[in-house]
A and B are shown apart, each in its own frame.
Chain A
Amino acid sequence: MRRPPLAVVFVGLLVIALGETAGAVISELRAQIVRYAQARVAANPQAHGLAGSAEYDAEITARAVYSAEAGLSFFHTHAQGLGPLVILVSTVAASAVPWRRARGALYALLALGAFFPLGYLAYSVAVLEWGRETGIETVERYVLAPLGSAAIVGLVALAVLVAIGRRRGWAA
Chain B
Amino acid sequence: MTGPGSEVWRLPPLASLLAAIVLIACAEVGGASMAKFKLELTRWARSVILARPVTHGLVGVRDVDEQVIDEALVKFDAGLRLFHLHAEGMGLVIIATTMTAATLVRAAAARRALIALLTVGGAGYPFGYLLWSALIPYHGIQAGKTVAEWVVWIPFGGATIAAVWWLTALLGARLIRRA
Q: Is the CB of B97 within 8 A of A13?
A: yes
Q: In the complex, what distance in Å separates the CA atom of A87 from the CA atom of B95?
A: 10
B174 at the interface (CB under 8 A from A): yes
Q: Is the CB of A13 within 8 A of B92?
A: no
Dominant SS at the B interface?
helix
Please tell me which one of the listed residues B8, B96, B172 contacts residue A84 in the complex, with CB atoms under 8 A apart: B96
Interface size class of A (residues with CB under 8 A): 20 to 34
Interface segment, one of A15-23, A49-57, A159-167:
A15-23
Most chain-A CB neighbours within 10 Å: which of B95, B153, B164? B164
Q: Is the CB of B161 within 8 A of A20?
A: yes
Q: Known A17-B164, A27-B153; judge A3-B93 contact (CB<8 A).
A: no
How distant is A13 from chain B, measured CB to nearest CB, in Å? 5
- List the 8 closest A-B pairs by CB distance, nearest first: A84-B96, A84-B92, A17-B164, A80-B89, A87-B96, A10-B171, A13-B168, A17-B168
Interface residues of B (CB under 8 A from A): 6-9, 85, 89-90, 92-93, 95-97, 99-100, 103-104, 153, 157-158, 160-161, 164-165, 167-168, 171-172, 174-175, 178
Interface residues of A (CB under 8 A from B): 1-3, 6-7, 9-10, 12-14, 16-17, 20-21, 23-24, 27, 77, 80-81, 83-85, 87-88, 91
